[in-house]
Amino acid sequence: MIDGNMLIDEIVKREYGTSINILRRVPVSGGDINRAYALELSDGTKIFMKANSPGSLDFFRTEAEGLASMRKTATIKVPRVIDFGADESESFLLLEYIELGGRSRSSSEKLGVGLAAMHLHDASEFVPGGKYGFYTNNYAGSTPQDNSPEDSWIDFFANKRLRPLFEKTAHYYDKEDKKRIEKLIDDLGRFIPEPENPSILHGDLWGGNYMIDAAGEPWLIDPATYVGHAEADLAMTELFGGFDSAFYDAYMEIAGIDAGYKGRKDLYNLYHILNHLNLFGSGYLYSVKSIISRYV
């Protein structure tokens, strides 16, 4: 019989010493898709672990690559990836453990400053062969994201973000809807600009995808990372709430927010609402059609 912890035990010994063992695996609150645990080690260390079926290894690989890329910018705290892997019973991702604290005005300001600094960081190393995209494909939730490179942000957002999800949700639209969708994609350059500088993005930055530690420092977690327009991350922060005025004021002071952003943020969020329509069903159809009607 294969021990489900064998590979994880080997990683722990490699990282922390051959005398260190896993004492217990304690369930903790996590996302809807994966199981989450705190691994308590014999030296008192904790490791955060995500687990899923063995077939989910690619999800953890791409999450690890997104976290490592954001962490590489050294602009905002991102958990260290310890390792990921799979055995016959499960796939897993092992991360630095974060002791939770409470949110405050100061932590919001630090989050705004850190995100702005990440958006201003040179992102060229993350997209070989282009300006927008990423060096690997990944996922938004469980939906695959095509990150193959483009030199135009408008083309990337049209062809690698909106169009694939309109195709996945095509059964919800009638002929008139489909005409308006094509017109929206064809005319996308009328509504969104090419950014001055490409930015590495978190990619799924809603209020549940950052944490505040016991010292009041913000951390980014659960990314769907790619290089695009910084406004796409900002728009996502407004979709479900969880970010206060201190965050936006601090962000603006460092990176600025273009006056035209308010008129196009719904277009960026159309991608995420389409993804919710694809994953969770018709409850999101009204929102999708409402956004389309604003622009076409």
252: phi > 0 → left, psi -120 to 50 → alpha, else beta; which? alpha
Q: What are phi and psi of 52, to 5 degrees?
A: -155, -170
Nearest CA to 255 among 224, 227, 234? 234
In the set 87, 155, 204, 222, the catalytic residue is: 204
Task: Label each residue of 182-238 as H, E or C.
Answer: HHHHHCHHHCCCCCCCCEEECCCCCHHHEEEECCCCEEECCCCCEEECHHHHHHHHH
Quick one: tokens of 112? 């705004």
Nearest CA to 150 among 125, 175, 137, 132? 132
26: phi > 0 → left, psi -120 to 50 → alpha, else beta; which? beta
Quick one: tokens of 267? 């277009």
Say whether 83 is catalytic.
no
225: phi > 0 → left, psi -120 to 50 → alpha, else beta; which? beta
Alpha carbons 292 and 170: distance in angstroms, whole number: 14
Q: What are phi and psi of 198, to 5 degrees?
A: -65, 145
Known catalytic residues are 204
